[in-house]
Structure 1
C-alpha cells in the first residue's frame, strides 16, 4: 500500500464522540465506513476521502460552536439523505441550492454536524 502523506497538507481529522458505538454504527450503516479501534475511547477510519477518527468526549463539533464543517460528496442527494435518516442521523438543514450545487446538513448520533453536497 502506498501512503500519500503530502508535505504541509491536511492529512487527518479527529472528532469528539459522546456515543462512540452509536457514531460507528451510524457511519457503518449510512456510508459503509469501517473502523479500527485503538482502545475503548478511540476509533479510526481510513479511505473516506480523508482519514480520521473519533475520540470519546462529551463534546460535539458544529458550525454553531465554531467547529469546521466537513462536507461529503454524493451523486444522489435524496438517496444519501434517506440512508442518513435510516441510520439514525438527523437532517438539520434540508436540501438547498448554492452557487455550484446543492447540499444539506445533518448530525450523527454524537451530535457532530456534517454536510453532503451534489452537483446541480
Structure 2
C-alpha cells in the first residue's frame, strides 16, 4: 500500500476499551488488526496490504468523529505550510512506531493529523 503526499491516508478512532472496540469491529465487519501494544491497534486493509486506520485507547471518542490523518513526504515542511495557510499546530510533532506525526486545526476548527514514515 503506497501513501500519497498530502492525501487522506488513515482514520483513527478513539476508544475507552481497545479490546471491546476490536471485538465489535471484528464481529460486525470482519476487520483484522495489527497490535501495537496495550493502547493501539492498526486496522488492516481488507486486501491485507497495509493499514487504513487505527484504534487508539489513549484518545477519547471525538464528538466530531474520528481523527483523519494525511500523509506527508516531509512532515516539517507540511507543518510550515499549515501555519502559513492560517492553521494552528495543536500537537507538535512526535514519534510513534510508524514514524512521526502532528495534529493541527484548520481555520474552521477541524482537527486533523499529518504523519510521515520518516
TM-score when normalising by structure 2? 0.47
